[in-house]
Structure 1
Amino acid sequence: MFKGGQTTSPDVSLPHVTNSHLLSYPNTLNFYERPPLFDVTVEEFETCALDRLRILAEIESSLARNRNWDELSTVTKTQCDKYLPLNSHRSIRFTDLEAERKKDHLSHFVLRLAFCRSEDLRRRFVKSETLLFKVRYEIALTEDREAFLGSRDFNWTIVPSQEQTQLKEDLERAFIGSKSEFERTKYYKVKWTRVPDLVEKRKVFLKGGWAYVPTKEQSSIVFHEFESHLEKTLETTARLLPRLDEDTRLLPILNNISQGFLAGVSSEWAGASGSDNADEIKAEMIDEIARRSFPLCMRMHHEKLRKDKHLKHFGRLEYGLFLKVLGLSIEEAIVFWRKSFSRIEDDKFNKEYKYNIRHSYGLEGKRANYPARSCIQLLAPGSSEHGCPYRNFDEDNLPTTLISVYGPQGLRSSDIREVTDTVKGKHYHVACTRVFELTHASCGVNKGDGIGGGESVTHPNQYAARSMELRKPKESKDAMQVDP
């Protein structure tokens, strides 16, 4: 991908193309058999992989949340349209199909490099990629699907009409559908080991080690083939990966990407570097906002600060940046922290703490606009004083803490089991998202809604901002009801 050690990329801003131009990527469906051989920049290498990662992580999140196929498919389509669109050549949109398919191709292979290094990562990657392929196969135009099926040898045998007639009674008993539909159906013959899902569900007739697969179940052969092919190529990639050990540009990126998948982060919050609430939030409002709208990680920071009248350096940094992005101005931040550190005298506060507060707002030092930390950063080992409570708290402490913190907002003991089961599966962001849904039920949030559109929590500020947004109409309504 980095041909000749270069990190420059050819211009891919092509005009609208037709299918005749798509010689490298003739179809939206792809088994990713040939690695990309074009030059890319390091930035392109990372950004396209992260876009694909967001889709795969949301698929994992959907599985952990027990979404049915229709819900999973809808969420995946939405994520694909947002991060990795793949339009048909018949699309009426003015799009660069070559660039879309090139990005899809590159992103798949970058993630292969990131996720081939352990059995667990390979298993999770194969499962998510296969589901992504299924969604794309389902929505593909009939002509695109047929062109794809004809582009490669799936090693199946079309059952001759004479043999199909001889086995009519047996085939009909295994067929699910109307008699007229059966009469129009063609059959494909493959080894039964290639369609274990159909065998398990008794959807195929078996004879002599062969499975007779009707046309409408043909996709099962394709999906199993995709999964088997990807498993083999990942193992091959793992054997070749040590060749990258000396490339200091790529390994940090691959490590970050694989950590992101383990953390389950699906997307980057658009408001992570700033807030539209500036000058709206005052120091005296933080206690109430924390009680009603903070995620557990920031709620723990707030409770510790109120209890000890102090936070250690990384805790202050983490919580301070969160409050900054939430909309607390520098003036209000100094008021808040001065009041919170009530045991410290003014002189010591001004000398040892005020500078750091101003520094986090970009007013001292190198004057950088520091962003608040995301879930992936909080989930990283040794990330902070607290990090993510869903990961760090033990099985006894977490349920007690959740009831203590969120009980007044509607979280019941009967809900805790669902949350802790998700934590045991290491889907920490899903647990946080489910707590959000449960504690905002009075605001009209239902199971599966997430923070909006079915998306999972990926940033503490995302959680808090959405909570505050949902509670504003309710608070306004409640205020109107008590007015004389």
Structure 2
Amino acid sequence: MNRIEAKRRNDLDHRKKQFAEPAYQETQYPHRLNFYSTPPTADITLEEFEQWAIDRLRVLAELEACSFRNKTPAETAAHMKPLLDKYLPLDSTSSNHSQLHSQRQKDHYSHFILRLAFARTEDLRRRFARVETMLFRLRFQTDDSRERAAFVRTLNLDWEPVYDEEKRELAPQLAAALGGKNARDRVMEEDWCKVDWIRVPDLVESRRVYLRGGKAYVPGREQQSMVMNAFTKRLEEALELTARALPNLDEDDRLSPILDHLSKNFIAPDSGYASGNGAPIDGAEITARNIDNLSQHFPLCMSHVHRTLRRDGKLKHFGRLQYTLFLKGIGLSLEEALIFWRTGFRAVSDDTFNKEYRYNVRHCYGDVGGDANRRSGGYSPFGCQKILTEHAPGPGEAHGCPYRHFTIENLTTLLRATGVTDPAVLKGVKEDTEAQRYHIACNRVFEHVHKAELKRAKEEGILTAAQLETIVHPNEYFKRSYLLKHLDKAPKPDRDVKMEGA
């Protein structure tokens, strides 16, 4: 037996020498802001790959929704702050936060993962560049002024900094460019730079810069547009290069399905990204006899199915499936579901119901079927993305999304029948549906119907990050609607906790 001492074995093991030095150095993040010029190279798990991308997608989708709703920059910043803190926090360097590196690593990797997902088509590239620029602008505006200036200096944007000596020399002229009260005092505080005047013709035209020797002296507050333009231009160029490299990813069958799933969910985020599948609401009577009363809280897709069932006493297959799973999601038990469907199908006999419909309801709940179906508890309620993209309704069918599958005339008639008559809301819904922003149209109606409750909830500060997100699941719509309409019944100390399930 050839025995080698442990110390000598380490010296002789060529495999350890081969990996003595890491192939890739860990990326350092000296700044909070990032132009994402260098792709990440370290290893992450598949779980991190998917979850980080999902979290960033939620933020980008919400930013896009803010622009669709015409929120002001101040409203957008206030709306996005709790969501960013929850899904994509990014603290300043001066905060000395213990998770600074992990925060910036997640931000860095999630950007490049979504870049892979959204580089596939011109439309996705354009949308991705737009919302990423919005996110960068939001962070740029809230960054520490000194840290922001230090970051801008690393971009090599061919700007010439203006130092304190020159600021003092040109203080009167620079103050005139600044304008406003105490302009002379603010000259030294401002972060100035010099560029060729032809690069900022808009600023020259509006007299927001000082011109001298062919150079424009640009104050820090006006540099934002220049940085944004550079960010967007570089990202668009990088997306084009990514699109050319995408065919090489086909060899990795682990990443392609994830990227494909992410790109599809730019239509409307998947139900898996929302809080739609939770436990029944405390205090709510979720029984067969109370469904008619609860239907006032249903989104349009489910209220239409419910009205059709009550009118015709029957539903076709996909209508039954969509509605059964929705009722299951709001907390209707299997026993109550069987009672509801039996009384709803008033034109059929007990024997027919038991033979043709009872089994399907039990199967949805996981009460019958294969072992996998039983272990999983049956099917999950459909989210907006699934309802929008699968099984379009045909003649005589009531399932699907009215915002997508109805004509604008029929949609307007249905909305009026549910009490939505405001011309401005109907006009906004029409514009949203024509632009294929179906979930935005649904949220527009929700905000109109619940405007009084939303105003009160915001004034009392009881809305959490979960309630600020755009609704992307029918069950989430129901829960949020029910809880908003029953604010007085929730104990004040626990109200924000109870609302967390919405």
TM-score norm. by structure 2 comes to 0.80
Q: CA deviation at 1:139?
A: 2.3
Residue in 2 that maps onto 1:372 = 381
Query: Where does residue 481 of structure 1 map in the other structure?
Result: none
CA offsets 1:222-247 (integer angstroms, 9 cap, x no match): 22221111111011111111212343
Contact 1:284 1:336 in 2 (8 A): yes
The equivalent residue for 1:425 is 435
Please identify, of 204-213 and 320-329, the stretch whose mean Cα deviation from structure 2 is larger: 204-213
More displaced stretch, 392-401 vs 198-207: 198-207
What residue is the counterpart of 1:339 in the other structure? 343
Q: 1:62 deviation in Å? A: 0.4
Cα distance change, pair 165–138 in 1 and its aligned pair in 2 (3 A): closer
Distance 1:161 1:288, change over 3 A: closer
Q: Distance in 2 between matches of 1:120 and 1:276?
A: 40
Cα 1:39–1:444, aligned 2, differ >3 Å: closer, same or farther?
A: closer
What residue in structure 2 maps to residue 441 of structure 1? 451
One of 413, 433, 440 as aligned partner of 1:400 = 413
1:52 equivalent among 56, 65, 69: 56
Give the aligned partner of residue 213 of structure 1.
218
Distance in 1 between residues matched to 2:185 and 2:267, nearest whole Å: 45
Q: How does 1:203-352 map to 2 (within 5 A)?
A: 203-204=208-209, 211-263=216-268, 268-276=273-281, 280-290=285-295, 292-352=296-356
Contact in 2 for aligned 1:54/1:265 (Cα 8 Å) = no
Which residue among 90, 98, 101 is the counterpart of 1:98?
A: 101
2:314–2:344 Cα contact (<8 Å) kept:
yes
Q: Are the structure 2 counterparts of residues 54 and 303 from structure 1 closer, same or farther at C-alpha, using a change threshold of 3 Å?
A: same
CA distance in structure 2 between the aligned counterparts of 1:197 and 1:364, rounded to whole angstroms = 69
Equivalent residues of 1:194, 1:224 under 8 A apart: no
Instruction: Give the Cα–Cα distance (whole angstroms) in 2 for the partners of residues 318 and 67 of structure 1.
Output: 33
Post-superposition CA distance 1:415-470 (Å, at most 9, x none) = 31122223223222221112112112343548999997543211111111111112
Distance in structure 2 (CA, Å) of the matches to 1:256 and 1:430: 20
| Secondary structure at 1:190 match in 2 | strand
Residue of structure 2 equivalent to 1:133: 136
Find the partner of 1:468 among 465, 482, 487.
Answer: 482
Higher alpha-carbon Rg: 2
Q: Distance in 2 between matches of 1:73 and 1:267?
A: 25
The equivalent residue for 1:158 is 161
Relative to structure 1, is the Cα distance of residues 281 and 325 closer, same or farther in structure 2, using a 3 angstrom cutoff?
same
1:459 aligns to 2:473 (yes or no): yes
Is this contact kept in 2: 1:194–1:225, CA < 8 A? no
Question: How far apart are 1:187 and its partner, in Å?
Answer: 3.7
CA displacement at 1:351 relative to structure 2:
2.0
Q: 1:305 deviation in Å?
A: 1.6
**Closer, same or farther: CA 250–421 of 1 in aligned 2, 3 Å:** same
Cα deviation per residue 1:389-427 (whole Å; 9 max; x = unaligned)?
Answer: 2122222222121111234xxx43443112222322322
User: C-alpha distance in 2, partners of 1:151/1:303?
Assistant: 61
Kindly report the root-mean-square deviation, in angstroms, between the aligned alpha carbons of the 2 structures: 3.3
CA-to-aligned-CA distance 1:84-107 (integer Å, 9 cap, x gap): 1122344365x4332222211111
Check conservation: 1:126, 1:227, Cα contact below 8 A: yes
Cα distance 1:426–1:58, how it changes in 2: closer, same or farther (>3 A)? same
Matched residue SS, 1:189: strand
Q: CA deviation at 1:211?
A: 4.4
Counterpart Cα distance in 2 of 1:307 and 1:281: 22
The alignment covers a number of residue pairs equal to 451
Sequence identity (%)? 45
1:213 Cα deviation from its structure 2 partner = 1.4
Query: Match of 1:13?
Result: none
Match of 1:123 in 2: 126
Residue type of the partner of 2:100?
A: L
Gaps of 5+ in 1: 1-20, 477-484
Distance across 2 between alignment mates of 1:219 and 1:352 = 65
CA shift for structure 1 position 169: 8.3
Q: Measure the CA separation in 1 of the matches of 2:380 and 2:283.
A: 15
Aligned to 1:479: none
Over residues 278-304 of structure 1, what are the superposed CA-to-partner deviations in whole Å (9 max), with x where a residue is unaligned?
Answer: 9831111111211x1110011111122
